[in-house]
Amino acid sequence: MREDVQPGLRVLADRKRFRIGTCVSAPLLQWDPQYANTVRREFNVITTENALKFAVVAPKRGQYNFSDADAIVDFAEANRMEVRGHVLVWHSQLPQWLANGALTRSGLVEILTTHIADVVGRYSGRIAAWDVVNEAVGSDGAFRESIWYKMIGKEYVDLAFRAARSADPTARLYYNDYGIEASDEHAEGIYELIRDLKQRDIPVDAVGLQMHVDMNESKRIERLPAAIGRLRTLGLEAAVTELDVRMNVQEHPTAEHLARQAAIYRQVLRFCLQTPRLEACVLWGFTDRHSWVPHFFPDQNHAAIFDENYCRKPAYDALAEELAGPSPSSG
């Protein structure tokens, strides 16, 4: 593992007009200078990790808190980066007043459409892409039994995309989910949902593939071309929106672990670079110092391209090599 060197991934990505990104935390941008400097040097796109989630933006009914989101958008503008807004409609990270409130269907429709109009409207022209709906499909391929689905029905997805389009007609609107590259009922359900949306002219522009990969599941990556191929026949763009590669290693990863991890990062980015209309590769965090992984998978860690001391790992070098390589012909 080597110390940081210039020029960083973003310079290489800019030369290819490719978006390389990470999610960011507003408090860390403010309090950890090494974190902020690394984001500045390495990425040309940032996603709001938690700052625009419903519970953060609307902790009390009728009261917004945009301080973290404003800080991230300001940071991006000061550093000439694009922002991905994550996330408008999700079953998770909802405020208590919404998750446990006594609401009617029409009341919830009003909450949903007002929220999107206000949040997207506030950043109109400043947030380039939105994860409008996240993880609407359950593991059986049917609609997930979220509060949105249970109270509004599947129309909530249409309402969300229409509200987002009308609040900012220039933003690219994403349906975002995990496991899109799998060949199972969940992936099939996602495809059917998106096909139905496109058929009915609901304004969905693109599909976001989360790609939180366990290092032992590298086979998943091989299915990417087929999954993206059929989505593109629907006229959709796509992006990898939440890439990380975690491993089950208690102490320090060995060189072999790091090489296997690097190979997966490389494979995903190479696929992005080779695929027309696959517009970005966004990492879900970039340093093991600040990682969501151990909180959610207690036995797993080391998922990022920098270690806990901000030293580059072989995964970083793999991404840099791919970005520095010759451009594939576009089509």
List residues with catalytic annotation. Answer: 135, 242
* CA angle 147–149–153, rounded 5-degree value: 135
Q: How far is the CB of 244 from ligand G3I (least distance, A)?
A: 9
Sign, Cα dihedral of 35, 39, 42, 47: positive
Chain residues that interact with ligand G3I, rule: CB under 6 A: 49-50, 92-93, 134, 210, 242, 292, 296
135/158 with CB nearer ligand G3I: 135
Nearest to 285 by CA among 26, 25, 5: 25
Q: Which residue is nearest to ligand G3I (CB)?
A: 292
92/139 with CB nearer ligand G3I: 92
31/296 with CB nearer ligand G3I: 296
Q: How far is the CB of 71 from ligand G3I (least distance, A)?
A: 14
Q: How far is the CB of 69 from ligand G3I (least distance, A)?
A: 14
174/292 with CB nearer ligand G3I: 292
Q: How far is the CB of 331 from ligand G3I (least distance, A)?
A: 30
Cα separation, 9 vs 312, whole angstroms: 12
Residue with tokens 């949902």: 193
Contact 48, 90 (CB under 8 A): no
Cα separation, 133 vs 91, whole angstroms: 9
Q: How far is the CB of 213 from ligand G3I (least distance, A)?
A: 12
Q: How far is the CB of 211 from ligand G3I (least distance, A)?
A: 10
Q: How far is the CB of 83 from ligand G3I (least distance, A)?
A: 15
Cα separation, 57 vs 71, whole angstroms: 13
92/100 with CB nearer ligand G3I: 92
108/304 with CB nearer ligand G3I: 304
Sign, Cα dihedral of 153, 159, 164, 165: positive
Evaluate the omega torsion of the peptide bond into residue 213 and state whether it is cis, within 30 degrees of 0. Answer: no
Give 219's contacts (C-beta < 8 A, 6+ positions apart): none
| Burial class of residue 147, CB neighbours in 10 A (0-12, 13-18, 19+) | middle
25/275 with CB nearer ligand G3I: 25
Cα separation, 129 vs 125, whole angstroms: 10
Could you tell me where the DSSP H helices lie in the chain? 9-15, 26-31, 33-42, 54-57, 67-78, 96-99, 105-122, 147-152, 155-167, 185-199, 219-222, 224-232, 255-274, 293-296, 314-324
